[in-house]
Structure 1
Amino acid sequence: MSVLLVACDLKLPDENYSEVRQFLAKFTHCRKLDSVWLIDTKWSPDQMRDGLNALIDRDDAVFVTRLAMNWASSRFGGADWLNDMNRNW
């Protein structure tokens, strides 16, 4: 298991991206920035990207990477979530 950082740049503001939000919300997650999700999952970055690609438009962008325990932030509301002993680093 790992913590993935998922960033989505969804280009069309009028599009209904509720499927993307519902897909990501199924995982243990933290969303404290508009287009960035932290996901605690068994999925690999490739699997997460592929799952999202099925839901987004051709002009949208997705970036997925595995996080490590050595992270830093400033005024980030998800710090407690990341520091939780239940995270699967």
Structure 2
Amino acid sequence: MSVLLVTYDLDNPNRNYGGLINAIKRRTFCHALGSVWFLDTTDRPADVRAELRKELDDGDQLFVFKLRKHWAAHKKDSSTEWLKSSKRTWD
């Protein structure tokens, strides 16, 4: 499994984006920051983007990155512990 970072900027804050959140939560996830999620998956970033894109409006932005072994964080919290977990694999 690889770790993907998903982040988005929603153009219409008054719209219900529950479908987007539910699509993210169908995977093994960690909600790191407001619009930042980590996913533990075998899927490629383009495949995750295609799935999540169905839940977005045209003006919304979405990025999906594959994380590598080398990363850094400022504050130790549940997100950093999730990333450090021995279950995670890094390419």
Q: Which residue of 1 aligns with 2:45?
A: 45
TM-score by length of 2: 0.93
Deviation string, structure 1 residues 55-79 (Cα, Å, up to 9, x no partner): 1000000001100111001015310
Structure 2 residue runs of 5 or longer lacking an equivalent are none
Could you tell me how far apart the structure 2 residues matched to 1:32 and 1:63 are? 15
Q: C-alpha deviations, 1:20-46, integer Å up to 9, x for none?
A: 000001111111200000000011000
How many residue pairs get matched? 89
Same amino acid, percent of matched pairs: 37
Runs of 4+ in 1 over 2 A off after TM superposition: none
Which residue of the partner structure matches residue 86 of structure 1? Answer: 87
Kindly report the root-mean-square deviation, in angstroms, between the aligned alpha carbons of the 2 structures: 1.0
Give the corresponding residue for 2:36: 36
TM-score norm. by structure 1 comes to 0.95
2:18 aligns with 18
Distance 1:32 1:47 in 2: 21
